[in-house]
Amino acid sequence: MKLNLKQSLLLIAAFIMGYSNILSAQSIYKIGNSKNNELKIAGTSTLHDWTMSAKIFTGTAELGFKSGNDNELVSVKSLTFSLPVLNLKGSESGLDKNAWKALKSDQYKHIVYQLTSATVTPDKDNKYLLKTRGNLSIAGVTKEVLMQVSGIVGKDGTITFKGAYKLNMTDYGVKRPTFMLGAMKTGDAITIDFTTVYEK
């Protein structure tokens, strides 16, 4: 039986779509309540180094796995992360309040990250290196960020992403927080270090 051009094109398209599904199966994940979840902000000041951290935040991800193998990550189609600013806390309550004010928490209640693209490279032992591009929004200012992130596929089916990113607060219009009536003034540069556990 001869096929006309239209029928042939439809068969080719169906084959390509089916082949793609064999190679990759998409799954939706969200950040759970793992005790390993943590985002930490570290900086310097005129008196001593300081940190603030949070363990409660939300996010979703659409991840692609090799069909028939939920341990073999092949793509990250989308990923979001949202942290309520008031969840960030350190050892100095006075600094916390000044930091929240500097982050304009009354107007912009969340720090938000939205992935725009990612390439996934297998490492070993269910570990992966991700080169990511996304948009980070802090205090109402959004900037594109490039990060290298490690991904670990757990035996329990969770996906743990770890990474760090350095930035200057003034790039996001954040006035450097002070403490002790201005005796302690924070430096402009900070490092955001995170561990997020996504579960199906």
Is residue 13, in this structure, part of any structural domain at all? no
Q: Which residues contact 182 (CB under 8 A, 6 or more apart)?
A: none
Provide mean pLDDT across the span 94-123: 94
DSSP labels, 88-143? -EES-HHHHHHHHHHTTTTT--EEEEEEEEEEEEE-STTEEEEEEEEEEEETTEEE
The backbone torsions φ and ψ at residue 194, rounded to the nearest 5 degrees and listed phi first, read -140, 150
For the entire predicted model, the pTM comes to 0.83
Q: Which residues contact 90 (CB under 8 A, 6 or more apart)?
A: 50, 51, 52, 53, 96, 99
Q: Which residues pair with 147 in a beta bridge?
A: 132
pLDDT tens digit sequence for 46-87: 878 889 999 999 999 999 998 877 788 999 999 999 999 999
Better pLDDT: 69 or 18: 69
**Amino acid, single-letter form, for residue 197:** V
* CATH code of the domain containing 87: 2.40.128.110
Q: Could you list the residue range(s) of the whole structural domain that residue 70 is in?
A: 24-199
Rounded percentage of the chain residues whose pLDDT exceeds 70: 85
The C-alpha atoms of residue 199 and residue 110 are separated, in whole angstroms, by 22
Q: Is the pLDDT confidence value at 11 over 80?
A: no
Q: Is the pLDDT confidence value at 129 over 80?
A: yes
Q: Is the pLDDT confidence value at 20 over 80?
A: no
DSSP-derived 3-state class of residue 174: coil
Q: Are 111 and 74 in contact (CB under 8 A)?
A: no
Is residue 19, in this structure, part of any structural domain at all? no
Is residue 93, in this structure, part of any structural domain at all? yes
Is residue 190, in this structure, part of any structural domain at all? yes
Specify the pLDDT at position 120.
97
Is residue 76, in this structure, part of any structural domain at all? yes
Q: What is the mean pLDDT of the chain?
A: 87
Specify the pLDDT at position 1.
47
Q: If pLDDT is split at 50, 70 and 90, which confidence band does 4 have?
A: low
In whole angstroms, how far apart are CA 176 and each of 43, 57, 84?
11, 24, 19
Specify the pLDDT at position 128.
97
Is residue 88, in this structure, part of any structural domain at all? yes
Is residue 63, in this structure, part of any structural domain at all? yes
User: Number of structural domains, the chain?
Assistant: 1
Specify the pLDDT at position 15.
43
Better pLDDT: 100 or 48: 100
Is residue 15, in this structure, part of any structural domain at all? no
| Closest by CA position to 62, among listed 111, 114, 20 | 114
Q: If pLDDT is split at 50, 70 and 90, which confidence band does 14 have?
A: very low
Better pLDDT: 91 or 188: 188
